[in-house]
A and B are shown apart, each in its own frame.
Chain A
């Protein structure tokens, strides 16, 4: 019990760091992904850039992307703090996945609904916001929640550039105390607590948004 209490303050701190980095990155990633999908729909020429971006991000491990941002950007004169580099790279990484989720969500709205809107004079922009977005967002919500969970878990990788988040903290405690079981158990529990909360929020919102679609 005494051992547990001695770790708790550090863990609580680390949990906030993990939460902060993940949510900041997920938020930027969501906006980025939404924007990428919207641009793809609005500008025919943007599809190439979109596919290139998704291809690059999905084709490489997050660890490598983090290294490029943290160790590579200083070469062109952009030196970021470890936390900043973590948020930026995690946002770029999750942004590609969010964009793909939005793309599939938008594709889930049947084409006939778009035709009905277009032939009755509703512009493409208004179709995006009034016909596609409400249905696509209801469709996407559980998937988006899932991607936020993946982002939280992927943030563990930032421990290698000494961001004092959960994984790094647990590792440090282990290496100084040589106690393995309790720190790692706490680590697992902390992630589990974060991800379960996100899952519950997404589920509740999703149910609320799709109530009337179930007939």
Chain B
């Protein structure tokens, strides 16, 4: 008997008109797990991730967060079963998110960015929110930048603020949508380091990423997608070392070639 998963997707699908972007997506995430979604561009990874907090309205299947159905009041759904925004907010309350383009609020200081979800979202009193924000900023190593505006920061620092913002709300699950894809190569590592340290602390995460080595090292589960479907999924070691499908072999080939000798075998 397994415990209730923190997040569960059953047969989730999404279409834009006649264009199907996600089909039959199943996933179970237990507390403490780290799931990486990999695959070529346009394979539906980001759509799948965005269905997990209803940024994308899925139109088939079910998304369960901590035992509560997300977005709809019933599983045999009609449009009239769609939950109110307040109800959606309530169900996805334990979930926070980090975005590819950071999506910081440029008119707020770094500290204000981290405080806003606490004060405006969770209605926490300002002094307490300030303390929580400063803790989160210390956690990502940006205490010194608390009073700066985002425009003054490097991309890597901005993303670390994005992580602090997602961390300060004390989420049970963090979604990360290609957190390093918008960064200069030399800024990628500082962000990966922060994510790795969250992993060490046991944060549950679902992450869309193109950083294969990182995904191989950090994940408990890797999901490989193509054309809106899961092609192959499982623990990172077998998946990266002995892919079952030709498609995944082909997808991983450039990465194997690039990473030369030391990393051809994944050792977590």
In the complex, per-residue mask of B76-105: 1 if CB is within 8 Å of any chain A CB, else 0 = 000000000110010011011101010111
CB distance from B93 to the nearest CB of A (A): 6
Alpha-carbon distance between A124 and B121 when the two chains are bound, in angstroms: 11
Given contacts A212-B151, A215-B151, A215-B152, A120 and B101 within 8 Å (CB-CB):
no
* CB <8 Å contact, A110 and B117: no
Which chain B residues border A138 with CB–CB below 8 Å?
A: 107
- Is B29 among interface residues, defined by CB-CB distance under 8 A? no
Cross-chain contact of A212 among B95, B99, B122, B149 (Cβ < 8 A) = B149
Given contacts A115-B103, A215-B151, A122 and B55 within 8 Å (CB-CB):
no
- Is A61 among interface residues, defined by CB-CB distance under 8 A? no
Given contacts A116-B97, A131-B105, A122 and B85 within 8 Å (CB-CB):
no
* CB <8 Å contact, B99 and A121: no
Cross-chain contact of B96 among A110, A115, A119 (Cβ < 8 A) = A119
* CB <8 Å contact, A120 and B103: no
- Is A112 among interface residues, defined by CB-CB distance under 8 A? yes
* CB <8 Å contact, A213 and B106: yes
Cross-chain contact of B107 among A112, A116, A119, A134 (Cβ < 8 A) = A134
Within A52-80, the residues touching B (CB, 8 Å) are: none
* CB <8 Å contact, B99 and A116: yes
Within B141-176, the residues touching A (CB, 8 Å) are: 149, 151-152, 165-166, 169
- Is A51 among interface residues, defined by CB-CB distance under 8 A? no
Which chain A residues border B93 with CB–CB below 8 Å?
A: 121
Residue in chain A with minimal CB distance to B107: A134
Given contacts A134-B107, A215-B149, A215-B152, A119 and B92 within 8 Å (CB-CB):
yes
Which chain A residues border B97 with CB–CB below 8 Å?
A: 116, 119-120
CB distance from B150 to the nearest CB of A (A): 9
- Is A214 among interface residues, defined by CB-CB distance under 8 A? yes
Residue in chain B with minimal CB distance to A209: B107
Which chain A residues border B151 with CB–CB below 8 Å?
A: 212-215
Residue in chain A with minimal CB distance to B175: A119
* CB <8 Å contact, B101 and A112: yes
* CB <8 Å contact, A112 and B121: no
* CB <8 Å contact, B99 and A122: no
- Is A113 among interface residues, defined by CB-CB distance under 8 A? yes
Residue in chain A with minimal CB distance to B117: A120
CB distance from B99 to the nearest CB of A (A): 6
In the complex, per-residue mask of A126-166: 1 if CB is within 8 Å of any chain B CB, else 0 = 10001100110010000000000000000000000000000
B86, B107, B116, B122 — most chain A CB neighbours (10 Å): B107
Cross-chain contact of A130 among B86, B104, B106, B116 (Cβ < 8 A) = B116
Given contacts A213-B151, A215-B151, A215-B152, A123 and B89 within 8 Å (CB-CB):
yes
Within B113-153, the residues touching A (CB, 8 Å) are: 116-117, 120-122, 149, 151-152
* CB <8 Å contact, A113 and B103: yes
Alpha-carbon distance between A126 and B105 when the two chains are bound, in angstroms: 14
Given contacts A119-B53, A121-B122, A135-B106, A112 and B169 within 8 Å (CB-CB):
no
A119, A122, A135, A213 — most chain B CB neighbours (10 Å): A119
Alpha-carbon distance between A110 and B107 when the two chains are bound, in angstroms: 13
Which chain B residues border A215 with CB–CB below 8 Å?
A: 149, 151-152
* CB <8 Å contact, A121 and B117: yes
In the complex, per-residue mask of A193-215: 1 if CB is within 8 Å of any chain B CB, else 0 = 00000000000000000001111
Can you report 22 residue pairs joining A to B where beta carbons are below 8 Å apart?
Answer: A110-B101, A110-B103, A113-B103, A115-B55, A116-B105, A116-B165, A117-B121, A119-B53, A120-B121, A121-B89, A121-B117, A121-B122, A123-B86, A123-B89, A123-B120, A124-B85, A126-B120, A135-B106, A212-B106, A212-B149, A212-B151, A214-B151
Known: A116-B99, A117-B117. 15 other contacts (CB 8 A): A112-B99, A112-B101, A115-B103, A119-B53, A120-B96, A120-B116, A120-B121, A121-B117, A121-B122, A123-B120, A130-B120, A138-B107, A212-B151, A213-B149, A215-B149
List the 4 closest pairs (A to B, CB-CB), nearest first.
Answer: A121-B121, A215-B151, A120-B117, A116-B103
